[in-house]
């Protein structure tokens, strides 16, 4: 029996796009899919490019969400920030899965195009730097790789000098009546955050009586969830790089794996982790 090929137009599907916006038009796929331009003849360079470009697109969304999280917490509007932080955690999980794809590339395959990368390196990602700054890992020295791009440098400087999501959370604790040291609330936002006893005491009080402080308790857990996934992303980055290049110097001149391991020591929300020992 002959089967008639399915024609979605018979059910009302739009099939002609003469002057009307199509799926590809809306997503600007012509621009996105023309951005994969390998600089060598190596087969695996395409994998390297796609993995990093896809990660940068996801990071674009992380920045969008974290920027809004800061604004909502600053406005005492916590419910939307919970949804956004949960979304960011899922994005980081997605980024973690991307490392699994890159790990299919062997050291031998990477060496076939590594020279084509020149001095470019992932640590120069301005979007990753923005995420670090928004999350509270402030380091003005990491602005220097972007001085040749005045617009990007100015954008990062603005984020560097604004309160992070943790800074905004601590200001919220003060507005809710918790005794947070003035030095925490009025500090130089461009400097790395230092653990503070008053902050530890506030979170401890919240964790000991969640029912009386439920929204703040939920905020604390959303922040821990975010950092948990962020740590996994960093860790998987380290193991992926070690698997592919060992302990060679990175293309950007860093110490490679040793540099990335230093990043694993960074704790974004120290009191939220330390308080667990005392409960």
| Cα 99 to Cα 67: distance, rounded to the nearest angstrom | 25
Answer yes or no: is 48 a known binding residue.
yes
Flag whether 64 is marked binding.
Answer: no
3-state secondary structure of 114: helix
Residue 27 token pair: 């997503």
Q: Answer yes or no: is 229 a known binding residue.
A: no
Q: Is 129 annotated as a binding residue?
A: no
Q: Please give the DSSP secondary-structure letter assigned to residue 20.
A: S
- Please, what sign has the CA dihedral across residues 57, 90, 260, 135? positive
Q: Which of helix, strand or coil describes residue 116?
A: helix
Q: Is 218 exposed, middle or buried (0-12, 13-18, 19+ CB in 10 A)?
A: middle
> What does the alpha-carbon distance between residue 196 and residue 188 come to, in Å, rounded to a whole number?
15
Residue 17 assigned to a binding site? no
198-202-203-205 Cα dihedral, nearest 10 degrees: 130
Residue 162 CA to residue 262 CA, distance in Å, equals: 25
12 backbone φψ class: left, alpha, beta (φ>0; ψ -120 to 50) = left
266 assigned binding-site residue = no
269 annotated to bind ligand: no
On whether 72 is known to bind a ligand per the annotation, the reply is no
Buried b (16+ CB within 10 A) or exposed e, 141-155: ebbebbeeeeebbee
Is 152 assigned a ligand-binding role in the annotation?
A: no
Segment (H or E) for 199: helix 197-208
Binding residues: 48-52, 110, 114, 237, 251
Binding residues for heme: 237
Binding residues for substrate: 48-52, 110, 114, 251
């Amino acid at each position: 029996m002959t089967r008639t090929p399915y024609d979605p137009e018979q059910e009302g599907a739009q099939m002609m796009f003469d002057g009307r916006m199509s799926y590809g038009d809306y997503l600007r796929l012509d621009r996105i899919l023309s951005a994969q331009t390998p600089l060598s003849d190596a087969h695996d360079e395409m994998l390297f490019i796609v993995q990093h470009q896809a990660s940068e697109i996801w990071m674009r969304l992380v920045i969008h969400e974290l920027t809004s999280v800061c604004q909502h917490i600053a406005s005492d509007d916590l419910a939307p920030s919970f949804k956004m932080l949960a979304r960011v955690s899922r994005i980081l999980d997605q980024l973690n899965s991307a490392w699994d794809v890159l790990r299919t590339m062997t050291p031998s395959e990477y060496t076939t195009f590594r020279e084509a990368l020149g001095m470019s390196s992932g640590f120069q990602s301005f979007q990753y730097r923005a995420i670090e700054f928004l999350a509270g890992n402030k380091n003005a020295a990491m602005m220097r790789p972007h001085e040749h791009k005045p617009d990007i440098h100015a954008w990062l400087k603005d984020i560097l000098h604004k309160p992070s999501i943790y800074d905004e959370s601590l200001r919220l604790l003060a507005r809710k009546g918790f005794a947070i040291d003035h030095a925490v609330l009025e500090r130089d936002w461009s400097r790395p955050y230092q653990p503070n006893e008053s902050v530890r005491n506030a979170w401890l009080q919240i964790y000991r009586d969640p029912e009386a402080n439920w929204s703040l308790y939920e905020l604390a857990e959303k922040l821990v969830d975010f950092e948990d996934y962020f740590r996994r992303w960093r860790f998987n980055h380290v193991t992926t790089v070690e698997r592919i290049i060992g302990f060679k110097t990175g293309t950007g001149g860093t110490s490679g794996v040793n540099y990335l391991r230093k990043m694993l020591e960074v704790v974004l929300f120290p009191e939220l982790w330390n308080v667990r020992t005392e409960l």
